Amino acid sequence: MNVSALLTSAAINVGVCVLLLSLYSVLRKQPSNLSVWILRAWETPEDEILAVGGLDAVVFLRIIIFSLRGVLGLLHSYVCFCTSSELLWTRDASQTDTSRVTGGFHN
């Protein structure tokens, strides 16, 4: 086991942890900035995002939007499926139409 590699890895992990915790403690006191940033990013045209943030930012926002649409679509499909299943299973047995049944076994 290489001790210097272990210490280097531990130092990097501790440094990143301290940095992220510091950023979190500063940014959590300003919750209004998050909604402003999200709204600006949502309303900004892709050409401007491409010019300012680059192709990575455009692809990232497209993935986020696609994911949100997918989740909403799946939720909508689930609700439609559940309500249609409930309608089929709660239907009264006396309302079934047996006039179209031909053939079969007769007693």
Report yes or no: 77 and 86 within 8 Å, Cβ to Cβ: no
What pLDDT sits at residue 101? 53
What pLDDT sits at residue 70? 85
Angle between helical axes of 46-53 and 55-89 (0-180°, round to 10): 140
Q: List the alpha helices (DSSP H) in 30-91.
A: 32-43, 46-53, 55-89
Q: What is the pLDDT of residues 74-106, one digit of tens each?
A: 888 888 877 765 555 555 555 555 555 555 555
What pLDDT sits at residue 18? 92
Q: What is the pTM of this model?
A: 0.41
User: For all residues of the chain together, what is the average pLDDT?
Assistant: 76
Q: What is the pLDDT of residues 17-51, one digit of tens each?
A: 999 888 888 777 766 666 666 677 678 888 998 89
Q: Higher confidence at residue 9 or residue 72?
A: 9
